[in-house]
């Protein structure tokens, strides 16, 4: 069986590695830079809007089935921040350390019960075999924010995000563990199920 080619509307190497690992065999994931597509401005007000904006931009440039991921950390006690600004929480040229430091500073006054947080991910799919229709798939991973970083795996806010199910920070999980429970894993599982069901329906009698 031929692999299904999907362009991932991203140049984020961490995301690309995770998406390839989670989707597994049967999919050829290529990044937008392979088609000389520059980063698309994320002007949406929420994760779904940004995912659709990125998927649409890449699909219009290539005509190839495209998926786009927009995701981030949501802390209710901070009115939803960092939210869509997760990657640039401490500024346009922010790095993970800067963002984590700002998050800890802004949450320093919050007690344990006030430190609930969740990772959210929305995957947008534009499939040329489905009349270029946009479909979205969402994943949510609930947890809390630690007082200090723990673990060295992962990226972004992983060292600060505590998963109560595993009893570890996201950065303490192995790649295999994380790719079973994360927000991105949940969203991509829904995407895979959709593609699988579509293939089943299209199979000739």
The three-state secondary structure class of 138 is strand
Tokens 């970083």 belong to 149
Q: pLDDT digits over 134-158, tens only? A: 999 999 999 999 999 999 999 999 9
26: CATH: 3.90.950.10
Contact 58, 7 (CB under 8 A): yes
Helices (H) and strands (E) in the chain, counts: 5, 7
Element (H, E) at 124: strand 116-127
Domain range for residue 98? 4-202
Kindly name the residue from 70, 127, 158, 163 that is annotated as catalytic: 70
Active-site residue 70, yes or no? Answer: yes
pLDDT tens digit sequence for 23-48? 999 999 999 999 999 999 999 999 99
Q: What is the band of 202 on the pLDDT scale with cuts at 50, 70, 90?
A: very low
At 69-117, the pLDDT tens digits run 999 999 999 999 999 999 999 998 889 999 999 999 999 999 999 999 9
Nearest Cα to Cα of residue 66 among 187, 191, 199, 184: 191
Query: Residue with structure tokens 């109560």?
Result: 164
Look up residue 75 and give its DSSP letter: -
Which one, of 13, 8, 138, lies nearest residue 71 by Cα?
Answer: 138
Structural tokens at position 21: 């690992």
pTM (2 d.p.):
0.91
Q: In the chain, how many domains are there?
A: 1
Taking residues 121-138, what's their average pLDDT? 91
């Amino acid at each position: 069986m031929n692999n299904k080619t999907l362009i991932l509307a991203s140049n984020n190497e961490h995301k690309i590695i995770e998406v390839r690992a989670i989707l597994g065999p049967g999919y050829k994931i290529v990044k937008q830079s392979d088609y000389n597509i520059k980063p698309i401005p994320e002007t949406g007000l929420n994760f779904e809007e940004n995912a659709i904006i990125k998927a649409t931009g890449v699909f219009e440039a290539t005509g190839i089935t495209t998926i786009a991921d927009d995701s981030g950390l949501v802390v209710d006690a901070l009115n939803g921040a960092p939210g869509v600004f997760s990657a640039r929480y401490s500024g346009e040229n922010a790095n993970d350390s800067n963002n984590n430091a700002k998050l800890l500073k802004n949450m320093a006054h919050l007690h344990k019960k006030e430190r609930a947080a969740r990772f959210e991910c929305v995957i947008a799919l534009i499939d040329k075999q489905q009349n270029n229709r946009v479909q979205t798939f969402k994943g949510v991973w609930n947890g809390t924010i630690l007082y200090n970083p723990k673990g060295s795996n992962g990226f972004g806010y992983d060292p600060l995000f505590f998963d109560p199910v595993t009893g570890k920070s996201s950065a303490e999980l192995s790649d295999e563990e994380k790719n079973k429970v994360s927000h991105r894993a949940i969203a991509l599982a829904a995407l895979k199920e959709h593609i699988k069901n579509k293939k089943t329906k299209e199979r000739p009698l």
